[in-house]
Amino acid sequence: MERPDTAVPRPDAANASGRIVLTEADISRALRRIAHEIIEHNKGVQDLVILGIPTRGEVLAQRIERLLHEIEGTDVPVGSLDVTMYRDDLRSQPTRAVGHTSIPGDGIDDRTVVLVDDVLYSGRTVRAALDALGDLGRPRAVRLAVLVDRGHRELPIRADHVGKNLPTARSERVSVRLAEHDGVEEVRIAASGSEGIR
């Protein structure tokens, strides 16, 4: 989520630059591991709320919730948290589209909220998410789950649950593509400006 995603890439040759660092099977295993870690840390799923940061974080949150239900046999409230109006780069990119926020009916007060995003980079999206949460209620605790941590933090923020630590150069781009949104399932890394990497 730490990069603009304005177009939906097509799974064709023109969008196949860079190298694949996570396949569909890798993504599936990473999310299952994250789900088990969440359960272990929380000692179950009681009082959990899963909130995905649109767009791909929302898809990942829904998948994690399904895994939690599969493992524990209990539904976990899941929603989405748009952070657009809380970002600190709105002056430089004022045309960002506002997404949607969907908070489960019981809210977030006195619950453990797990924020879910696809890529953790500078930490600014997560900071914006924390600000947005503060306007919605007072959770007992907030944890962060990401599919990829690519480093280069600009703020003192770290993920609690990471699918893959992926050391990158600032000049590289990480592209997460998920079947529900992109029609293909993979994570690629390529030089910035490479065709098809957004």
d(CA 149, CA 151): 6
Please name the residue that has the structure tokens 């926020």: 101
Instruction: Please give the CATH architecture assigned to the domain spanning 24-171.
Output: 3-Layer(aba) Sandwich (3.40)
CA-CA distance, 187 to 15, in Å (whole number)? Answer: 12
What residues pair up with 27 in beta bridges, in sequence order? none
Residue 82 has pLDDT above 70, yes or no: yes
Is the bond into 112 cis (omega within 30 degrees of 0)?
A: no
Residue type, 166: L
Beta bridge partners of 191: 172
Mean pLDDT, residues 80-105 taken together: 80
pLDDT digits (tens, 9 = 90+) for 125-136: 999 999 999 999
Position 125 scores a pLDDT of: 95
pLDDT confidence bin for 197, thresholds 50/70/90: very low
Mean pLDDT of the residues in the chain: 88
pLDDT tens digits, residue range 88-99? 876 666 555 677
Give the DSSP letter of residue 98: P
Asked if residue 53 has pLDDT above 60, the reply is yes
> For 45-59, 69-83, 88-102, which range has the lowest pLDDT when averaged over its residues?
88-102
Condensed to tens digits (0 to 9), the pLDDT of residues 146-169 reads 999 999 999 999 999 999 999 999
End-to-end CA distance of the chain: 11
Q: What is the mean pLDDT of residues 53-59?
A: 95
Residue 76: Cβ-neighbour burial (10 angstroms; 0-12, 13-18, 19+): buried
How distant, in Å, are the alpha carbons of 2, 53, 133 from that of 128?
A: 11, 10, 9
pLDDT range class, residue 11, cuts 50, 70, 90: very low
HSE-up (13 A, CA, CB side) for residue 54: 14
- The whole model's pTM is what? 0.86
In terms of pLDDT, which residue wins out, 112 or 191? Answer: 112
pLDDT at 45 exceeding the cut of 70 = yes
* Residue 6 clears pLDDT 80, i.e. is over it: no
- pLDDT tier, 139 (very low <50, low <70, confident <90, very high otherwise): very high
DSSP at 18: S
pLDDT for 145 beyond 80: yes
Domain ranges of the chain: 24-171
Degrees, nearest 5: CA angle 66-71-76: 45
pLDDT at 89: 72
